[in-house]
Amino acid sequence: MIRIRALAVASEISPLIKTGGLADVAGALPAALLAEGVDTVTLVPGYPKVLAALREARSIHDFSEYFGGPARLLAAKSVGLDLFVLDAPHLYLREGGPYGSHDGVDYPDNAFRFAALARLASSIAQGMLQDYLPDVLHVHDWPAALAPAYLHYAEPGARRPPTVLTIHNIAFQGKFPKSVLGALGLPPESFAIDGVEFYGGVGFLKAGLQFADRITTVSPSYSAEILTPEFGMGLEGLLRARASDVIGILNGVDEEVWNPSRDSLIPVNYNQAWLPLRPRNKAALQQLFGLPLDSQALLIGVVSRLSWQKGLDLLLEALPEIKLFGVQLALLGAGDKALERGFLDAARVLPGQVGVKIGYDENAAHLVQAGADVFLVPSRFEPCGLTQLYALRYGAVPVVARVGGLQDTIIDANEMALKAGVATGFQFSPVTKDALIAALRRARCVFSDKPRWRHLQSNGMKTDVSWRNPARRYAQIFRQLIQARGET
């Protein structure tokens, strides 16, 4: 097997810097690809947290001026990852998050911060470095999506390795005014409908969709959904035109980080054979969220961004009815201020049934998975979702909306699936309050049948949610593209 050198480009990478699932994928996929003959180096911005975590870092290229200031390219290792890091203090040395300040306001120069990353990726792909030449360029979401455009508009005769763009969430597109075009280093002719132009501005994700050789999404259902006006967010026309190049590949999870038998963040470790130990974690979860210690109550866990997309407003609306059939709720999350206030008010009104922690805490997130009976994901759209995969690993039975990757990963506990012994959770559709309540009522009914419930938990824990199959699919795409170019 001829080994492939892949240059991945991502604006965040777990465990160094994370705001969502993109970081989890960027952090876990390289290790899984090794077994498929793919050696990955990931190019990331030099945020303070990233620079602080580097070891064996060395400067391999210096820029006296790069998008407004001096910069350098570092080659480094950290937590098993091979990295290129763009150390540009004028772009990334900030106290907020990757995309904006702590109060949630986007940085005004984001167009340049991430164009710098994408342009550097294209330069490396063309041969900027003497001792590193990638065979394929794999870019993640809008912050890296301009790289295929930079390759397309490179000088005639420039090297152009094949490119793959992965969409993690098409709702985030990187749209900027036309006035940035020249400063981005793109030629005037690029501002066209078959270039980077998008509704009168410059569209980073649109540019990637236009010029990448293959487009992947993080689940098969999402790859079909984004071809429709309901889910395509204005890009469905371009995606339909390129439908033969759009491929859905389910995400996996890091089985070492999310492993109830060895998880150091939960009080009691267990596995499928030792499920009787799991209720101890339920008691710890109830205690953490200020809920009565009741082993018979159906404990619903939620770990989520509080937003309209995630459908948490439906859960809030459903609470007055859900409380009537004897459940408890442990919710961990942050986001929309109105939803935060709504759930905090619900916790005050229903102190024995609703416990809420605003913010994110990794220890609490693991305990929710290890202690909840049900893990709820009522998203209106969900490209893949990772929390329901964690829930399967931990024996928390998922209740999910029938959208995107949620419907691809959970087998609904309808009567036939229960009889066949293959169900792993509950799906509901449409994504409404009434359908959500009906799904939780179904879960409550099965929960009262302990042997059936235990079988649901066991099925989930046996489900393969690793990166093995996804990594194989990515490697196949890389090899096909490289072979089509005649480069191996």
Q: Where are the domains of the chain?
A: 4-252+468-485, 272-462
Amino acid at 334: A
Confidence (pLDDT) at 488: 44
pLDDT per position as a tens digit, 122-132: 999 999 999 99
Instruction: Kindly state the average pLDDT of the residues 467-488.
Output: 90
Which tokens hold the place of 389?
């995969």
Chain-centre distance for alpha carbon 361: 17
Residues 7-43 pLDDT 10s: 999 999 999 999 888 999 999 999 999 999 999 999 9
DSSP 46: -
Q: Residue 95 is which amino acid?
A: E
- pLDDT tens per residue, range 202-228: 999 999 999 999 999 999 999 999 999
Query: In the chain, pLDDT over 90 holds for what percent of residues?
Result: 94
Is the pLDDT at 322 greater than 90? The verdict is: no
* pLDDT tens-place string over residues 388-446: 999 999 999 999 999 999 999 999 999 999 999 999 999 999 999 999 999 999 999 99
More confident residue, 360 or 369: 369
487 pLDDT more than 60: no
Query: Is the CB of residue 333 less than 8 Å from the CB of residue 342?
Result: no
DSSP string, 219-253: SHHHHHHTTSHHHHTT-HHHHHHTGGGEEE-----
Average pLDDT of span 154-170 = 95
CATH number of 4-252+468-485: 3.40.50.2000
Q: What angle do CA 317, 320, 322 make, to 5 degrees?
A: 95
Enter the pTM of the model.
0.92
Query: Is the alpha carbon torsion for 220, 222, 228, 234 positive or negative?
Result: negative
Looking at residue 324, what is its pLDDT? Answer: 79
Residue type, 25: V
d(CA 40, CA 136): 10
Buried b (16+ CB within 10 A) or exposed e, 237-267: ebbeeeeeebbbbbbbbbeebbebeebeebb
Q: Which CATH superfamily is domain 272-462 in?
A: Glycogen Phosphorylase B; (3.40.50.2000)
| pLDDT value at 486 more than 80 | no
Domains 4-252+468-485 and 272-462 share a fold: yes
b/e per residue 52-88 (b: at least 16 CB within 10 A): ebbeebeebbebeebbeeebbbbbbebeebebbbbbb
CB 382 within 8 A of CB 406: yes
Q: Is 440 helix (H, G, I), strand (E, B) or coil?
A: helix
